[in-house]
Amino acid sequence: MLTAFSVIFIGEFGDLTQIQAANFSAKTHRPVEVFVAASAALVCVSFVGAYGGRLLQRVLPLGAIRVLGGLVFLGLGVYTLVQLATS
Q: What is the mean pLDDT of each run of 10 residues along the chain (87 residues)?
A: 86 80 92 94 88 88 93 94 91
Q: Would you state the pLDDT for residue 61?
A: 94
The verdict on pTM exceeding 0.85 is no
Predicted confidence at residue 26, as pLDDT, reads 94
pLDDT of residue 85: 93
Report how far residue 73's alpha carbon sits from residue 78's, in angstroms, rounded to the nearest whole number. 9
**Residue 15, pLDDT score:** 79
